[in-house]
Amino acid sequence: MAPARAMSSGIKFSAVLISFITAAPAPSPSTASKAAPTPAPPAALTLPQSIRPPVFLLPGSGSSTLDAAFTTPTLQRSCGNTSTVWIQDISNLLSNATCIQQALPLTFNATSNLWQNNTNALISPHDFGGLTGVVGIPVDNPNIHPIWLAMVQMLQGQGYTVGRNLFGAPYDWRVSFYTLSRIGWFAQLQKSIETAVKANNNTKAVIAGHSLGTLVSTYFLGTYTTAAWREDNIAAYVSFSGLYGGAATAFSQFIEGSSFGFNVSSATLWSSARTWGSLTQRAPIPEIWGNRVLISSRSKNYTAGDMRQLLNDLNLPQQVATYDRIRSSIFNLTDSPLYVDVYCIMGNSIPTQTGLAYDVPAFNGSVPLSGGQATYGSGDGVVNQISLDECLSLEPVKVLNYTGQDHGSVLGNPDILKTFVGILQNYSTPIQSSAVRG
Ligand SMILES: *[C@@H]1O[C@H](CO)[C@@H](O)[C@H](O)[C@H]1NC(C)=O
Ligand SMILES: *[C@@H]1O[C@H](CO)[C@@H](O)[C@H](O)[C@H]1NC(C)=O
Ligand SMILES: *[C@@H]1O[C@H](CO)[C@@H](O)[C@H](O)[C@H]1NC(C)=O
Ligand SMILES: *[C@@H]1O[C@H](CO)[C@@H](O)[C@H](O)[C@H]1NC(C)=O
Ligand SMILES: *[C@@H]1O[C@H](CO)[C@@H](O)[C@H](O)[C@H]1NC(C)=O
Ligand SMILES: *[C@@H]1O[C@H](CO)[C@@H](O)[C@H](O)[C@H]1NC(C)=O
Ligand SMILES: *[C@@H]1O[C@H](CO)[C@@H](O)[C@H](O)[C@H]1NC(C)=O
Ligand SMILES: *[C@@H]1O[C@H](CO)[C@@H](O)[C@H](O)[C@H]1NC(C)=O
Ligand SMILES: *[C@@H]1O[C@H](CO)[C@@H](O)[C@H](O)[C@H]1NC(C)=O
Ligand SMILES: *[C@@H]1O[C@H](CO)[C@@H](O)[C@H](O)[C@H]1NC(C)=O
Ligand SMILES: *[C@@H]1O[C@H](CO)[C@@H](O)[C@H](O)[C@H]1NC(C)=O
């Protein structure tokens, strides 16, 4: 496997991730590429003889592979007869977008007040526990974006083995924490962690979350599980590029749709994105953003406190219905200590969208818009610095803040990977020699 190829895919993915949150094109791809590390194989590091902590990888939005069971043969055919709707050979899928346009929207159940699968396709994460759900199928396909590949290769080089002490935790990134909870995903994660901890001589697990995966991890640790369970099962949580204060222009996906960084119109996924409950989880938090104008039309300026109004104006009554609940769970995410060691790893000094101004009289949600005029501030190219810095409220044992690293490159940079190995080493259980036990 050529590391150079892997790294260049990783760099490409950092640009892709920009649109996961902002929908708009990368602010300055040349800056992002320049900032990315020079491709180099991770330095060989050897963990001492010990039982390594099992590692669980929680990817960001769009980075989990999704399978679909189609209910109509027509849609099955549009999807190239594959069961993988996201993300296998995305260039093929996008050449006829019918597949993802019909498979990916959620429908709102007004009785349960929750989003659920639409009737065309039942979607579930691919290969939970394995790696193809987070790295992709196959791992070296340049049309997918193996953002975790460098880390996975490094861990495997350290003797980490899939299914024994290395696990992917892909999830349906379209849905909110509530839905993940209701469909049993957190229960599945919890069970897998327990099993892995037992199988590794009660060596507690390390959770590594990236981007949206940091919010999912924090919800799992701070809200879903009990302190007693974490005490027994979790050694540390490593946060990569966390967006604990939301993203300034997160709701632009409701306005424009998203190209996910591919060479297609953002409008391709506009009607789908309008149904994704996970997007409101990235709402900018008013306490952090204050009165800054984040989104505007000619007739209205929207601050973080106006996001509910923005959803109303965009004609998204169902997102409004779930917004308050999701918002309070996000606001509370960093409120209480997690009682596990937290490491905050982030980039900085990459231009990052802080505002989008649309030259339309008013929003009405009837058509996808494009061409919002962006303003930029500091951050990792996707997540604003103010939001990355909120990781401090998790009371981390260590902050690793890398100037010039961007949202995606923090997962591939050789120095950062070395540090990650150091973290794992610190949570390993020494192997008991029979002499000692003698
Ligand atoms: C896309 O797929 C749909 C459904 O199979 C089909 O009806 C349509 O003609 C295709 N469009 C193109 C441009 O191939
Ligand atoms: C999907 O399978 C059907 C029936 O087996 C076949 O007719 C069709 O050509 C296949 N389509 C693709 C894109 O492979
Ligand atoms: C909507 O949710 C209710 C309550 O959970 C459930 O009984 C019902 O089957 C759901 N409707 C559909 C169409 O799935
Ligand atoms: C969609 O359907 C799949 C397959 O039945 C199921 O595993 C998943 O939980 C459903 N997702 C949602 C959001 O209801
Ligand atoms: C993007 O796609 C268009 C056609 O849809 C093509 O003309 C253009 O060259 C592509 N750009 C890149 C960078 O691939
Ligand atoms: C929005 O804010 C800008 C500057 O902050 C101001 O010039 C403009 O008048 C405001 N627009 C509205 C509709 O309030
Ligand atoms: C969040 O915290 C507020 C104030 O402490 C509380 O009223 C609210 O119920 C909490 N929300 C959730 C979802 O826990
Ligand atoms: C909705 O907004 C679009 C974009 O500004 C505009 O073209 C359209 O006329 C508006 N529709 C209504 C019903 O106001
Ligand atoms: C990271 O570095 C940037 C640039 O110096 C700074 O603005 C930011 O506050 C730092 N964040 C943390 C958590 O150290
Ligand atoms: C591992 O632990 C040692 C000793 O406490 C400490 O000096 C080192 O910084 C730790 N490594 C990491 C990557 O946190
Ligand atoms: C794992 O635990 C068992 C039982 O406590 C012990 O016999 C064994 O030596 C341990 N293995 C290692 C590699 O430490």
Q: ∠ CA(178), CA(182), CA(188), 5° rounding?
A: 110
CA nearest to 251, candidates 185, 175, 304, 328 = 304
CB-based contact 106:175 (threshold 8 Å): yes
Pocket test for ligand 2, best of 81, 88, 89, 99 (most atoms within 8 A of CB): 81
Q: What was the pLDDT predicted at 91?
A: 64
Residue 183 CB–ligand 4 contact under 6 Å: yes
Residue 81 CB–ligand 2 contact under 6 Å: yes
Give the burial class of 73: count Cβ atoms within 10 A of its Cβ; 0-12 exposed, 13-18 middle, 19 or more buried: exposed
Residue 366 CB–ligand 8 contact under 6 Å: yes
Out of 3.40.718.10, 3.40.50.720, 3.40.720.10, 3.40.50.1820, which CATH number does the structure's domain 3-63+127-428 have? 3.40.50.1820
Pocket test for ligand 6, best of 296, 363, 373 (most atoms within 8 A of CB): 296
Give 156-159's long-range contacts (Cβ < 8 A, gap of 24+): 157/42, 157/44, 158/45, 158/46, 158/47, 158/52, 158/421, 158/424, 159/47, 159/52
Nearest residue (CA) to ligand 4, atom 11: 117
**Which residues fall within 8 angstroms of residue 228, CB to CB, at 6 or more apart?**
none
CA nearest to 22, candidates 372, 360, 365, 301 = 372
CA nearest to 384, candidates 304, 278, 264, 307 = 304
Pairing between strand 84-86 and 66-70?
antiparallel
- In whole angstroms, give the CA distance from residue 346 to residue 384: 11
Q: What was the pLDDT predicted at 187?
A: 98
CA nearest to 352, candidates 371, 374, 332, 376 = 376
8-state DSSP, 109: E
Q: What was the pLDDT predicted at 232?
A: 97
Instruction: Respond yes or no on whether the N-terminal peptide bond of residue 123 is cis (omega within 30° of 0).
Output: no
The rounded Å distance from CA 365 to ligand 8 centre is 8
Residues forming beta bridges with residue 342, ordered by sequence position: 237
**Which residues fall within 8 angstroms of residue 111, CB to CB, at 6 or more apart?**
none
Nearest residue (CA) to ligand 8, atom 14: 364
Q: Where are the domains of the chain?
A: 3-63+127-428
pLDDT tens, position by position, 164-209: 999 999 999 999 988 999 999 999 999 999 999 999 999 999 999 9
Residue 423 CB–ligand 10 contact under 6 Å: yes
Q: What was the pLDDT predicted at 80?
A: 81
- In whole angstroms, give the CA distance from residue 227 to residue 231: 6
The rounded Å distance from CA 230 to ligand 8 centre is 51
H and E: helices and strands count for the chain: 19, 17
Q: What was the pLDDT predicted at 433?
A: 55
Pocket test for ligand 7, best of 281, 328, 330 (most atoms within 8 A of CB): 328
CA nearest to 151, candidates 163, 138, 168, 164 = 168
- In whole angstroms, give the CA distance from residue 215 to residue 328: 13
8-state DSSP, 253: H
Sign of the torsion formed by the C-alpha atoms of 394, 226, 411 and 332: negative
Helices (H), 23-165: 29-35, 73-78, 90-95, 98-103, 132-135, 149-157
Q: Extract the residue ranges of the chain whose pLDDT is less than 70.
A: 1-49, 88-94, 137-145, 331, 432-438
8-state DSSP, 220: I
Pairing between strand 205-210 and 301-302?
unpaired
- In whole angstroms, give the CA distance from residue 309 to residue 305: 9
Q: What was the pLDDT predicted at 153?
A: 93
